Amino acid sequence: MNKIEPRTLPGFMELLPKDQIMFNKMKEKIQKSYEKFGFLPIDTPIIEMSEVLLAKAGGETEKQIYEFQKGDNNLALRFDLTVPLAKYVAQYYNELSFPFRRYQIGKVYRGERPQKGRFREFYQCDIDIIGDGELSIINDAEIPKIIYNTIKELGFDNFTICINNRKILNGLFKELEQEENSIEIMRIIDKLEKIGKEKVIQELAKVNVPEDAINKIIEFIQIQGSTDEKLQKLEQLNIQNDIFKTGVEELKEVIKYIRIFGLPEENFRVDLTIARGLDYYTGTVYETFLNEYRSLGSVCSGGRYENLAEYYTDRKLPGVGVSIGLTRLFYKLNELQAIKEEQKSISKVLVVSMVEDMTKPIEVATFLRENNIPTEVYIGNKKIKAKFKYADRLQIPFVIVIGEDEITNNVVTLKNMETGEQETLKIEDLKAKL
Amino acid sequence: MNKIEPRTLPGFMELLPKDQIMFNKMKEKIQKSYEKFGFLPIDTPIIEMSEVLLAKAGGETEKQIYEFQKGDNNLALRFDLTVPLAKYVAQYYNELSFPFRRYQIGKVYRGERPQKGRFREFYQCDIDIIGDGELSIINDAEIPKIIYNTIKELGFDNFTICINNRKILNGLFKELEQEENSIEIMRIIDKLEKIGKEKVIQELAKVNVPEDAINKIIEFIQIQGSTDEKLQKLEQLNIQNDIFKTGVEELKEVIKYIRIFGLPEENFRVDLTIARGLDYYTGTVYETFLNEYRSLGSVCSGGRYENLAEYYTDRKLPGVGVSIGLTRLFYKLNELQAIKEEQKSISKVLVVSMVEDMTKPIEVATFLRENNIPTEVYIGNKKIKAKFKYADRLQIPFVIVIGEDEITNNVVTLKNMETGEQETLKIEDLKAKL
């Protein structure tokens, strides 16, 4: 028979079991962290009607979308979890309770040009809090605490959650009569860290920002100091514009509550340059950096938006949320060998037999499983060496050996694969030992 | 702005959070059960190259497949988890350890005609054990124990795992010189329970099975008695055909080891009529029925196959496995209100404040979360009644109320939402109480 070459599409991550175990553990920790804060799960379809999914899309995003026909329907694969959330909240509005706190962890699809570390199928892990008509600013302060808890759970201590408010930027641009340029300006100042102050000035001039406006922008983005000093300096800029003032007030309120939520000072800071590129966010915005791995970029980002579902409903549904791009994060951390994961195997024990009769090995495995210890029995006629090699390759931490002596004396030999230590035990003593 | 009607494609299950919680719990229990037996996780892409995915497909299945073009590539969505497993094992053969025990839980896609309880996107929960060249029959006996453990974890006690061996059927057909008719005959006898003996005889006659062959088939499928009596009667049929004899030997061996694995007699039986329709299985086959909900059909099925990946590799890779169609199972059980699920909410506690200052409520929530108790703070200016209604709708079991008295006395009021009981506690005593 002619064989087909078994292969995976470029841009699609497919892991070997040992990496999959680590990936799943990270996913599980994120989920548990979201649940600890009382977020409800939803699981929307991966396929939606194009008309519904693309109600809002346009430009770059639309080009990347997987679209196809099936029967008479134009279908598309979801490219994020926000549009499905908007659809969901509009569709089931009457059956939901607000504020609606939901998490969703699932695969999304974008036909990007394949490059190293960029994926066409990837997991997003989203949380959002949606209000019905209004949503207290205190929610904007809870989000960083959830980010904090989640990143800690993933095993990192040295990270910074950067916080800003889009109204501050918008108000500044209004004051400087640069509103029409605002998206362009934000795009440029977002690059401050990457390209430096001089280049930012050059690029701003290139898009025809007048010199005095450039000076004010530079003065603004160079505000330094502690969180409280920054807030003070913002007020000292003496910008009378209402949007700007609202932004500063909101930011102050968010910082006040962030402290009440107990977020350590070393894990957050006000960063007036972050804008989250998109036109979508209207208030608080977040980015999160692992300080030892800055090259990863932000590992958890998001913000506050005025209106989640305006393409589907007239109801005003403001929200705030963040997302972790897990596939890319895992890929990068794994490459850097920076995943803090103790568990490397599923089974805790491999039971191997030195005799033909498998009765005893199976009984021991059954006993362990009944005591919630993941256990595998090596079934197959291999030499004992091959069986140990199997345990070794799968990084199973313990091997139980059962030979004639063990059967006669009704005991087992337990080997710790890491230390090499071996001991003989009664079966009922295994539980305490493992 | 013109609104787009938010809607979900027919045949795609989308749950409200309270059902999603139950669904996720079931999924988690299945996963935990598979892991207890040492199966390794894999997570293959939902999209594959058509050429790879359809190496084997044909007929009905192929018509149902979601296929489309992206750039120059012909792509398809996976329609089961077996083909991706075959691809995976062939592709990563050198990096895997055998016997390779893997589980995969994920969505698959079939464009079936939509009808109630039939889904186009649905979860499959698969386990398979793949051997390199050979695979001990003892594995065939472990599978029913895994099914048993999994169905028990889902909260059911009254179920039967039906076991057969395809070689017995194949040998019988060879003996009766009905091999060319065998798929047709198996299709018919598979319906015995549904249509009865007389109709089976009629249908067999219709496909030109001679009368004496029909008689032997009927004699065969009517073998009754205990498991051991059935095995004995099979031998007494005195069929000298080698395939038949091998089948009986294998079945006896499987039953012997099933007992060593400790599967209770009341939870399995030999059923000589099950064939799992497909041409795919070559030895042991399984079906599982919830006896109180027979209308669901088999909730966990599978069997032994000679060669997993023959379309991709010359290596012989025999395997044995089963699958649970979780989406349909959940849908049906939910409809019957037969889901044994105690957990109905994510949060265990809702903290509500009767004062404006949220400091205390947030501190209490932080304390609970640090003690791994999923907790939500109601944030928003609603009347106390609305806050309780929120807890009620989300079925959160406990509400903590914090008013001026509580703040003054440094205590909280804890209300059990089920019993209505209320008590005043110190914060540090909450942990023991919850």
Residues of B in contact with A369 (CB under 8 A): 36-37, 149
Q: Residue A280: what pLDDT?
A: 83
Residue A419 lies in a domain: yes
In angstroms, the separation between the Cα of residue B172 and the nearest Cα of chain A is 29
pLDDT band of B1, cuts 50, 70, 90: low
Residue A393 lies in a domain: yes
- Count how many domains chain B has: 2
- Are residues B121 and B234 located together in one domain of the fold? yes
Residue B64 lies in a domain: no
Q: Residue B346: what pLDDT?
A: 97
- Are residues B325 and B405 located together in one domain of the fold? no
Residue A330 lies in a domain: no
Q: Residue B351: what pLDDT?
A: 97
Beta sheet of B47-49, edge-to-edge order: B47-49, B73-77, B67-70
- One DSSP character per residue, A370-398 reads HTT--EEE--S---HHHHHHHHHHTT-SE
> Under a CB-based contact definition with an 8 Å cutoff, are residues A302 and A150 in contact?
no
Q: Residue B95: what pLDDT?
A: 97
Q: Residue A370: what pLDDT?
A: 96
Q: Residue B422: what pLDDT?
A: 95
**Rounded-to-integer distance, Cα A376 and Cα A395, Å:** 13
- Are residues B354 and B328 located together in one domain of the fold? no
Helices of type H across A117-165: 138-153
Residues 310-329 (B) with a CB less than 8 A from some CB of A: 310-314
Residues 387-426 (B) with a CB less than 8 A from some CB of A: 390, 393-394
Best residue in A31, A56, A70 for a mutation probing chain B (most B CBs within 10 Å): A70
The answer to whether residue B59 scores a pLDDT higher than 80 is: no
- Are residues B243 and B148 located together in one domain of the fold? yes
> Under a CB-based contact definition with an 8 Å cutoff, are residues A381 and B75 in contact?
no
- Closest-CA residue of A relative to B47 is A9
User: 3-class SS at B109?
Assistant: strand
A173 φ, ψ to 5°? -65, -35
Across all residues in chain B, what is the average pLDDT? 94
- One DSSP character per residue, A362-375 reads HHHHHHHHHTT--E
- Are residues B373 and B233 located together in one domain of the fold? no
Joined tokens for residue A275: 């804008």
User: Whose CA is closest to A47, among A64, A68, A19?
Assistant: A68
The answer to whether residue B58 scores a pLDDT higher than 70 is: no
Can you give the CATH number for the domain in which A401 is found?
3.40.50.800
**Rounded-to-integer distance, Cα B321 and Cα A303, Å:** 45
Can you give the CATH number for the domain in which B238 is found?
3.30.930.10
How far apart, in Å, are the Cα atoms of B122 and each of A195, B18, B125, B251, B291?
48, 19, 10, 32, 24
User: Whose CA is closest to A9, among A81, A112, A162?
Assistant: A112
> Under a CB-based contact definition with an 8 Å cutoff, are residues A146 and A33 in contact?
yes
Q: Residue A95: what pLDDT?
A: 97
Residue A427 lies in a domain: yes
pLDDT band of B183, cuts 50, 70, 90: confident
Q: Does A366 touch chain B (CB under 8 A)?
A: yes
Residues 65-84 (B) with a CB less than 8 A from some CB of A: 66-71, 73, 75
In angstroms, the separation between the Cα of residue B337 and the nearest Cα of chain A is 19
- Are residues B355 and B313 located together in one domain of the fold? no
Residue A366 lies in a domain: yes
User: Whose CA is closest to B397, among B368, B354, B370?
Assistant: B368
- Are residues B283 and B167 located together in one domain of the fold? yes
Residues of B in contact with A309 (CB under 8 A): 6
How far apart, in Å, are the Cα atoms of B241 and each of B184, B220, B238, B244, B245?
21, 15, 9, 5, 6
Joined tokens for residue B325: 């169609």
Q: Residue B116: what pLDDT?
A: 83
The residue behind tokens 């194009």 is A50
Q: Residue A60: what pLDDT?
A: 66
Contact at CB, A312 and B17, closer than 8 angstroms: no
One digit per residue, pLDDT tens: chain A, 434 residues? 689 999 999 999 999 999 999 999 999 999 999 999 999 999 999 999 999 999 876 666 778 899 999 888 899 999 999 999 999 999 999 999 999 999 999 999 999 887 888 899 999 999 999 999 999 999 999 999 999 999 999 999 999 999 999 999 989 999 999 988 888 888 888 788 789 999 999 999 999 999 999 999 999 988 999 999 999 999 998 899 999 999 999 999 999 999 999 999 999 999 998 877 667 899 999 999 999 999 999 999 999 999 999 999 999 999 999 999 999 999 999 999 999 877 889 999 999 999 999 999 999 999 999 999 999 999 988 999 999 999 999 999 999 999 999 999 999 999 999 999 999 999 999 999 88
ipTM of the complex: 0.95
Best residue in B24, B26, B44, B47 for a mutation probing chain A (most A CBs within 10 Å): B47
- Are residues B358 and B320 located together in one domain of the fold? no
First to last CA, chain A: 49
- Are residues B266 and B169 located together in one domain of the fold? yes
- Higher-confidence residue of B183 and A284: namely A284
- Are residues B36 and B144 located together in one domain of the fold? yes
Give residue A380's domain range: 349-433
Residues of A in contact with B134 (CB under 8 A): 380
Contact at CB, A16 and B131, closer than 8 angstroms: no
The residue behind tokens 């980010």 is A147
- Are residues B292 and B184 located together in one domain of the fold? yes
User: Whose CA is closest to A302, among A80, A98, A42, A93?
Assistant: A80
Residue A298 lies in a domain: no
Mean pLDDT calculated for residue range B205-221? 92
Residue B413 lies in a domain: yes
- Are residues B116 and B219 located together in one domain of the fold? yes
